[in-house]
Amino acid sequence: MSSAGDSGPTPTAGRINDVVTNVQNRLQSRIVRAAEAALAEGKVVSPIDVLIGVGWLAPSEVDRWRQGRIPYLEAAAQVNLSKLSTAMKYFRGWARDRGLRPSEMAYVARTRDRRSLRFSKSGAPDIERAYRTHWVSPELSPKKRQHVVEQQSKPPDLVVIWPRRAFTCTECGGSGDGLLFMEGPGPLCLACADLDHLVFLPSGDAALTRRARQGSRLSAVVVRFSTTRKRYERQGILVEEPALADAERQCLADEESRARRRERDRVRRAEQDLELQARTVEGIRRIFPGCPAERAEAIARHATVRGSGRIGRTAPGRARDPEAITLAVTASVRHQDTAYDELLIAGVDRNQARRQVHPDVENVLDRWR
């Protein structure tokens, strides 16, 4: 029994301390997981990556901030400033412990004046610098690290929207269904955004687009929202007319040599695809020796289609990671050897359909193992 003068913590105080510690540990774990995921994806991680990763910043709000429609980034965060400060402290500690290399980036708005973006409510230089600092993997060579820094520091493209419905310009009050530019309080027509002297170049010719953009002092990317894919997709660019005319002349002058290069590239990619398919077949037969040869080849072809985004094109798939190979084979069995597709057509929920056919899938995989 403690004396009246005992200054040690009471049981209640101890429990409070334990709760606080648990909360801090959970927050630190969330920050570390988000940072590790961002680093694995691009070998570089920023505070914005982490805040988006833990769900405190919506990508749409970051876009509004870049458009100059939010005065400072912290205003868009879904947590208070104290929690943001704690999270950034954990993030910096993790980055230093991992041996990442800090590199301060320039952040400019996606506006015509290219003004510097502000991160914090206070605008304090040390806080702004912390937000601007990206952390780069030491695994990268100096050349690749320099390339990453240059890419991250490039001013963002101006983005013009091809709307699906009429809009009202917030500056002149005019309405229409032409292209619009988002800045400040809302949409601007191209005349009010001082972009109406640019001409539209549709996507499709990479060389023409690259040259026109390089020769144009001012350019903008044109995007349109896809109602099926639920995202904005690139439609082309806006460039100065003289730059487009000069780019067209350059493309006409070396059209034959570019055609020969495209054919060489096509052959090289085809050879690479065949090599990847062969390695994938080898991986399938190693893990599932009972899988018929023609079936293994069909699975490999399907999983490694260029541009498909399927498991065979991912880094683990190219490395013949056993888990990636198993996922590819499992998907094939699910679709071709069970009633999975019929269940989906009948309106059964995807997760429920997968659970229902799981025993059948495992039976086939067990026979092949």
Say whether both 264 and 362 belong to one domain.
Answer: yes
90 and 165 belong to one structural domain: no
End-to-end CA distance of the chain: 65
Domain boundary among 114, 137, 153: 153
Beta bridge partners of 101: 136
- Taking only the tens of pLDDT, the chain with its 369 residues reads 444 445 555 557 666 666 557 768 899 999 999 999 999 888 899 999 999 999 999 999 999 999 888 999 999 999 999 999 999 999 999 999 999 999 999 899 988 888 899 999 999 999 999 999 999 998 888 888 888 878 877 888 899 999 988 899 998 888 877 899 988 888 999 999 999 999 999 999 999 999 999 999 999 999 999 988 888 999 999 999 999 999 999 999 988 888 888 888 888 888 888 888 888 888 888 899 999 999 989 888 888 887 766 666 666 656 667 888 888 899 899 988 998 888 888 888 888 888 998 999 999 999 998
E strands present in the chain: 44-45, 101-104, 133-136, 159-161, 167-168, 175-176, 180-183, 186-189, 198-202, 220-226, 231-240
Residue after which a domain boundary falls, among 222, 253, 284: 253
- Closest alpha carbon to 210 in 230, 239, 233, 235: 239
Indicate the burial class of 193 (C-beta count within 10 angstroms; 0-12, 13-18, 19 or more). Answer: buried
> How far is C-alpha 119 from the geometric centre of its chain's CA atoms?
21
Residue 36's domain spans which residues?
13-153
Whether residues 267 and 241 share a domain: the answer is no
User: Do residues 331 and 236 both lie within one domain?
Assistant: no
State the virtual CA torsion across 16, 22, 23, 28 in degrees, nearest 10: 150
Residues 31 and 144 in one domain: yes
Q: Which residue has the tokens 């020769």?
A: 215
Domain count of the chain? Answer: 3
Phi/psi of residue 171, each to 5°? Answer: -100, -50
pTM: 0.60
Same domain, 133 and 163: no
Q: Is 120 helix (H, G, I), strand (E, B) or coil?
A: coil
Integer CA distances (angstroms), 158 to 119, 183, 231, in order: 20, 10, 18
Same domain, 197 and 305: no
Rounded Cα distance, 230 and 178, in Å: 21
